[in-house]
Structure 1
């Protein structure tokens, strides 16, 4: 909490729900994308429900990645967790991706607050190893994320069911 911004219990609960699959849970109610923002008073990181998606919201989407990318604001800072499905030459995979969005045109003071709060948030989201930094439209391309996921020897061949 170097910036003085606390992480709400709701954020930790959402993280625990997105990272653990429990037998009997309704898959449609699982988060696919959960977005976080710093509250208006600047004291807490909270869920932005308007920008978050559950699996039921994307089940008829032709291009899930495009839908996910469209939820990331281009003029405001935010954080997110994305439950990403992809395939490599070896197997099907799922990973949680931490999103840090600090668009170039966002106010400098806000970008600094988000940057200084990021470490405390990531510490609460233990085990999330892939980070997707979004600063402008070019960062929202599928190829950028595929490059992040290709950090291993295995080549990514599809993302959210779409060939890359």
Structure 2
């Protein structure tokens, strides 16, 4: 339970484990239910395109997302994969929505074990592929 009184739905944890352990999803979008009492799965996807993920981020509303981010290592080391947690809170979202999402984030984030980095996005430049790639490669959270 978060400071805002919002709980994490069991389905949210199941979907995350499917992504992390089963590689069943490429990304998961989470949001608050209609009563603003629970964090639920809004959508899952197997689409490998990062652009598809970005297209799912609403222009005027908040959400959380988990993305299985793959990237190349320089040299011949091949691909790596890191799970990234996104808090999407665009400047154009309603203030109330931004407040509820900000105060509810910890409840979800603490229950997701195995996340390599956290990205806070208020506009698309902060969640652009190159921005996330730089963050993952540098190892900063």
> Which blocks of at least 5 consecutive residues in structure 2 are unaligned?
none
Compute the TM-score of the two structures, normalised by the length of structure 2.
0.89
Whole-angstrom CA distance in 1 between matches of 2:71 and 2:130: 13
Of 64, 70, 75, the residue aligned with 1:79 is 64
Deviation at 1:146, TM superposition (A): 1.2
Partner of 1:10: helix, strand, or coil?
helix
Deviation at 1:140, TM superposition (A): 3.2
Q: Secondary structure at the match of 2:138?
A: coil
Shift >4 Å, 4+ stretches: none
The match for 1:155 is none
Q: What is aligned with 1:12?
A: 13
Is 1:46 the counterpart of 2:31? The answer is no
C-alpha deviation, 1:53, in angstroms: 1.1
Q: Give how far 1:91 is off.
A: 3.5
- 1:129 CA displacement: 2.5
The partner residue of 1:92 within 66, 79, 87 is 79
Query: How many corresponding residue pairs?
Result: 136
| Bigger-Rg structure (1/2) | 1
Which residue number in structure 2 is paired with residue 66 of structure 1? 51
Q: Say yes or no: does 1:136 pair with 2:123.
A: yes
Give runs of aligned pairs for residues 91-110 of structure 1, distance below 5 A: 91-110=78-97
Secondary structure at the counterpart of residue 31 of structure 1: coil
Could you report, residue by residue, the CA deviation over 1:93-113 in whole angstroms, capped at 9, with x for unpaired residues?
011110110000111111011
Give deviations 1:12-37, integer Å, cap 9, x for gaps.
Answer: 1001111113xxxxx6xx11111000
Structure 2 matches for 1:144-155, cutoff 5 A?
144-152=131-139
How many Å separate the matches in 1 of 2:81 and 2:116?
12
Task: Give structure 1 stretches of 5+ with no counterpart.
Answer: 22-26, 153-164
* RMSD, matched Cα: 1.5
- The alignment's TM-score, normalised by the length of structure 1, stands at 0.77
